[in-house]
Amino acid sequence: MYTKGRKILGLRAFTLAETLITLAVVGVVSAITIPNLVGSFNESAYANALKKAYSSVQSARKSMPTESGCSPDDYECAD
């Protein structure tokens, strides 16, 4: 029993055109958002690495007076 439009044997279903349009919209939205997400992830990883390096340098700078007896800002102090 074929009737008009979407009803085939009394069941409702999506047409091929509706499915393809939906897939196209999902593809466009993902093509726009995925590069932004990847870019923000890379920036976040870079910022974390920079903070870790800065922390290491500051830790080494703070421990310098205890190892050499000089303050970090004393340029005239010789080893």
What's the pTM? 0.44
**DSSP type of residue 70:** S
- The answer to whether residue 45 is domain-embedded is yes
Domain that holds residue 50: 1-61
Which phi and psi angles does 24 have, rounded to 5°? -65, -40
- The answer to whether residue 79 is domain-embedded is no
- The answer to whether residue 7 is domain-embedded is yes
Q: pLDDT tens digits for 25-35?
A: 999 999 998 88
- The answer to whether residue 51 is domain-embedded is yes
Residue 23, classed as helix, strand or coil, is helix
Q: pLDDT tens digits for 55-74?
A: 988 887 777 665 666 666 66
Amino acid present at 20:
L
